[in-house]
Amino acid sequence: MQAEHTAIDTAFIDLSDKRYLFTDQRGIDTLADSVGRVGLINPPILQMRQNGDYRVVSGFRRVSACIRLNFRQIPARTIGSEADFLYCIRIAVADNASARALSLAEQRRLVEKLYDLCGSKEAVSSALDQIGVFMPGELVEKFIRISTLPPAVQEGYAENYISLNTALAMESMSRASAEAVARLFEILRPTVNRQKEILGGLNDLAGRQGITIESVLRSREFADILEAMDIDRGRRMHLLRSEIYKRRYPALSSAEAEFFRHKNNLGLEEGMDLKPPQNFEDTTYTVILRFSSTRQLCCQAETLGRICRNPDLEVILKREIEDQQDLY
């Protein structure tokens, strides 16, 4: 790198020029503490612009920390304005990667920058090779796809409340639907598995009703859940999932409710349970007995005898659900 070591007046450094910014900008306070105690060990790299002031090539956090400490001048390495984008970004990558591994978010921003410049996945991969960053082509492609998603989804991914695969699954949605889901995830912060479940459920509901996901989420029941700020997040998540399930499987959820209603009338004792077949497809029910003494088992056996004569058990085993004509 042809760079000149010099002291630069911080007033001439334009931090709003983010041409080469791809790194995370967290922890500036901690860095400022460190710089305050031991000084700036590794000078940032700046590029002179046509108008004579400077943009940062590498060291955004370092420059920010120095400004926060009211340094009027800082030591820096400067590159001439004639240096091209690829050369500068290469310097930035090398400077950062020499200190630590680039995070996934940084890698994504780097790909976005290169994609803006190069315009194709192949060219980005080749540029990454040139600047010494190894990244599988599949990941490059995914990062490029992320960059085409609505900003709310990109932000969710950057802020880590939308997973990479969830974000990509939102590609086929309308912009409004993707934004509505991103907002939902921002509020409820579901785990990756829950994101998949919720997205799948909403997608099915929308397909079932022939409307968009945004329209599904605009319905009163969902809106009420999302806006119920007095209810904690975990409870709202439970309510949301229940609502999706009830709407997605109206007959099944009604049969489940009916089963539990009759089961409650059976008078099962502690340690006893009755399980229906999965989705009521099979006809075999399971009784579970948990006991720790012969006395307890004898009590359960007596209860079982009573249950066998209970009309609610007959209803359960008859498996006639209420007429679902209104559904179809």
Residue 246 binding other proteins, by CB under 8 A: no
Q: Please list every residue from 101 through 130 that binds other proteins, using CB under 8 A.
A: none
Residue 249 binding other proteins, by CB under 8 A: yes
Residue 138 binding other proteins, by CB under 8 A: no
Task: Provide the 10 A C-beta neighbour count for residue 11.
Answer: 10
N-terminal to C-terminal alpha carbon distance within the chain: 72
Residue 196 binding other proteins, by CB under 8 A: no
Asked whether 240 and 221 are in contact (CB, 8 A), the reply is no
Nearest alpha carbon to residue 105 among 167, 183, 45: 167
Tokens encoding 83: 């240096």
Please report, for residues 199, 247, 249, the alpha-carbon distance to residue 204 in angstroms, rounded to integers and kept in the order given: 9, 10, 10
Residues touching other proteins, count (CB under 8 A): 25
Site string for other proteins, 271-310 (x = CB under 8 A): -------xxxxxx---------------------------
CB of 28 to other proteins, least distance (A): 45
CB of 258 to other proteins, least distance (A): 11
Q: Please list every residue from 74 through 93 that binds other proteins, using CB under 8 A.
A: none
Where helices occur in 39-120 by DSSP H, the ranges are 60-68, 85-97, 104-118
CB of 250 to other proteins, least distance (A): 7
Long-range residue pairs from 114-120, CB within 8 A, at least 24 positions apart, any chain:
114/89, 115/143, 115/144, 115/147, 117/85, 117/86
Applying CB under 8 A, among 252, 289, 297, 299 the residue interacting with other proteins is 252
Nearest alpha carbon to residue 95 among 23, 179, 170: 23
By C-beta, is 138 or 282 nearer to other proteins?
282
Which of the 8 DSSP states describes residue 23?
S
By C-beta, is 152 or 198 nearer to other proteins?
198
Residue 324 binding other proteins, by CB under 8 A: yes
Residue 234 binding other proteins, by CB under 8 A: no
**Binding interface with other proteins (CB under 8 A):** 204-205, 207-208, 210, 248-252, 255, 278-283, 319-321, 323-325, 327-328
